[in-house]
Amino acid sequence: MTVNEDSKLKLLWVDHSFHKKTMSTNFLREILEKKFSVSVFWDDYWKGGEPLSVSEINKYDYVFFFQTLLPFYKLKQIKAKIIWVPMFDSDPLPDKYWYCLSSIPIKILSFSEYLHKKCLEFNIESLPLKYYLPPAFSDDIPKSGRHYFFWYRGSLRFSDIKVFLDPQKVDSFVYRSAPDPYFKEEILSKGDIENYKLQIIRDVKFDSQEKYLELLKKSNIYIAPRTIEGIGISFLEAMAIGMVVVAYNNGTMNEYIKHNYNGYLFDSKNYYINFDNIAAVLNNSKTMAQNGWIKWEKDKEIISDFIISDNYKRIQISDIYFFLHSTLQGLETNLRRAVKRKIIKVTGFLKNKPS
């Protein structure tokens, strides 16, 4: 039996416009489309665009914010039920922010253990989730040797990762240069290119996801590209096809990976990695990927019910406190926006933080 689209509840999906390119949030929107009539607004506010008006939002039953969120004084004006997916890699949110957020009827999908605990601390309704891709372990991945893949996105450089690499034990190294919008390409020395056998691939070579995966499968060790992640689709993708993941010891990577058990973690103080147990680590990683996918398949079925249920609770806080904090937040937001517009006008370059 097909569901009548007219009978579905109307939901407005508001998403960071960088995700329109990466398509990293499609998996969640597709889940919602089964029970909601979903309209999409790609938010360009981070690069000086106009924010969505409250009057437009109030035409819907629900508004679903992914990463991006309006200032408090505007959230207070929204009549639609509010759902938010915050990202762990966004700017750290102070306790006063969570305190004010608790006064708004809002529900949160937490793809980070830390964020879920923060919601519980301030009595905000939160659904803890861990996303996994369906395991599709590839026979094309090398069974022996050390074949590395690193996607340079900006926050983690080759100079940061070569400290745990023995050039004598590098059989191949694919270096994908595809920096995020606020970073430039990394300058690599001729010595590093030769010593570490770097095969540099520019992003223009990837005109499809299939070509990217073909290249990915030529390696067996994936070095996660960022020092901090929102969800971490890139390293989860590598894990799903049967690669061993090396990642910076920070969220959300260290919420999935246990060092020397199902992957490897490093940071500026602890950067030694012994790959001698890589076969056991890979087996554990595959087991986790399989079990994680089974759990995700169950958890995703309750997302829509979590949103539809009526317990959009809020805490009463001082009107003066809320007014002062929301006013300061509004002034700060407008100042940042003015600066961003000036930067775009003068240089055409903008620092931003897409996930």
Amino acid residing at 343: I
Neighbours of 265 (CB within 10 A): 20
- The answer, yes or no, to whether residue 28 has pLDDT greater than 90, is yes
With cut-offs at 50, 70 and 90, classify the pLDDT of residue 312: low
Q: What's the Cα-to-Cα distance from 95 to each of 5, 98, 119, 228, 334, rounded to whole Å? A: 41, 5, 10, 20, 22
pLDDT at position 54: 95
pLDDT tens figures, 39-82: 999 988 777 778 789 999 999 999 999 988 888 888 989 999 99
- The answer, yes or no, to whether residue 108 has pLDDT greater than 90, is yes
- pLDDT, greater one: 212 or 316: 212
- The answer, yes or no, to whether residue 339 has pLDDT greater than 70, is no
Question: Can you say how many angstroms the Cα of residue 101 is from the centroid of all Cα atoms in its chain?
Answer: 21
> Does residue 136 sit in helix, strand or coil?
coil
147-294 shares the fold of 5-131+300-347: yes
Radius of gyration of the chain measured on its C-alpha atoms: 22
Taking the C-alpha atoms of residue 310 and residue 318, their distance in angstroms, rounded to an integer, is: 24
pLDDT tens figures, 228-257: 998 999 999 999 999 999 999 998 999 999
CATH number belonging to the domain at 5-131+300-347, selected among 3.40.50, 1.10.3470, 3.40.1130, 3.30.70: 3.40.50
CATH number belonging to the domain at 147-294, selected among 3.20.20.70, 3.40.50.2000, 3.30.1490.20, 3.10.690.10: 3.40.50.2000
Length of the chain: 355
User: Average pLDDT in the 279-307 region?
Assistant: 96
- pLDDT, greater one: 334 or 21: 21
User: Average pLDDT in the 335-345 region?
Assistant: 43
Give the residue extent of every domain in the chain: 5-131+300-347, 147-294
- Degrees, nearest 5: CA angle 14-20-22: 125
With cut-offs at 50, 70 and 90, classify the pLDDT of residue 311: low
Residues 6+ apart with CB under 8 A from 74: 54
pLDDT at position 30: 95
Query: Average pLDDT of the chain?
Result: 85
DSSP state of 27: H
pLDDT at position 314: 58
pLDDT tens figures, 174-186: 999 988 877 889 9
The β-bridge relationship of strands 36-43 and 9-16 is parallel
Segment among 98-107, 124-133, 230-239, 246-255 with least mean pLDDT: 98-107
User: Average pLDDT in the 98-107 region?
Assistant: 88
User: Average pLDDT in the 139-168 region?
Assistant: 93
